[in-house]
Copies of this chain bind each other. A is one copy, B any other.
Amino acid sequence: MAKKQQEKSQQTMQELMASAIELFGSNGFIQTSVAEITEHAGYAKGSFYRHWNSKDELFLIIVEQKLKRYRAKRNGKVDKAKNLEEAMHAIWDFLESIINDKNWSSIFLEFTVYSAKSETLRKLMNKSVYRLSNEIFAELVHNHMETDFPPEKIGALNTALFEGYLIHRSLGTQVLSLPDVRAAAIALALRNGAKQG
């Protein structure tokens, strides 16, 4: 039993992370304090910092983990697409699954905007493990491109429309529905990436 202490530490870490996911999920990133996270898990505040260097760091780990899971569900579906429109629908199924994960989409939005104020955080947030990636998007659709419009621009426009819709949603504005935005995004992608016919 040489590993018992490490196991205990691992379990504490898991408990703290579970507590964090729960509280972030209900109250958001900024509204959730480190003291709340530890208290809710039954530990003292100082314990948090034995496992992560900052609240930001833990949040990034959670983002990475969540994004990985969303993408795992997506994998395969996009490959089966026979044209750009089908690929876009597969991508929007994926985006819709993010929106359906409680209010995490608003929390990602909150953190994304929050991250823009710190240079180091901003750089991190441009990596694909933490964010919708224009490069990954380009990979997913480039087989279906029928024009020389840069596929990563299609991806960036798609992300812009999606995240703009998240703002719309987080303010409680009800003018747009998810199908509205999906239709708009796909139309936009087809306009730039498919031959007119």
Given A126-B172, A153-B180, A172-B126, are A113 and B160 also a contact pair (CB < 8 Å)?
Answer: no
State the number of copies, please.
2
Q: Is the CB of B126 within 8 A of A153?
A: no
**A120-137 Cβ-contact flags toward B at 8 Å (1 or 0):** 001101100001001000
Q: Is the interface of A mostly helix, strand, loop or mixed?
A: helix
Tell me whether A110 is interfacial, beta carbon within 8 Å. yes
CB distance from A29 to the nearest CB of B (A): 10
> Which residue of B125, B159, B176 is within 8 Å of A156 (Cβ)?
B176
Q: Is the CB of B163 within 8 A of A157?
A: no
Task: Provide the bound-state CA to CA distance between A156 and B178, in Å.
Answer: 12
Contacts of A104 in B (CB 8 A): none
Q: Is the CB of B191 within 8 A of A113?
A: no
Interface residues on A, range: 35 or more
Partner-contacting stretch, out of A55-63, A66-74, A79-87, A181-189: A181-189
> Which residue of B116, B131, B160 is within 8 Å of A161 (Cβ)?
B160
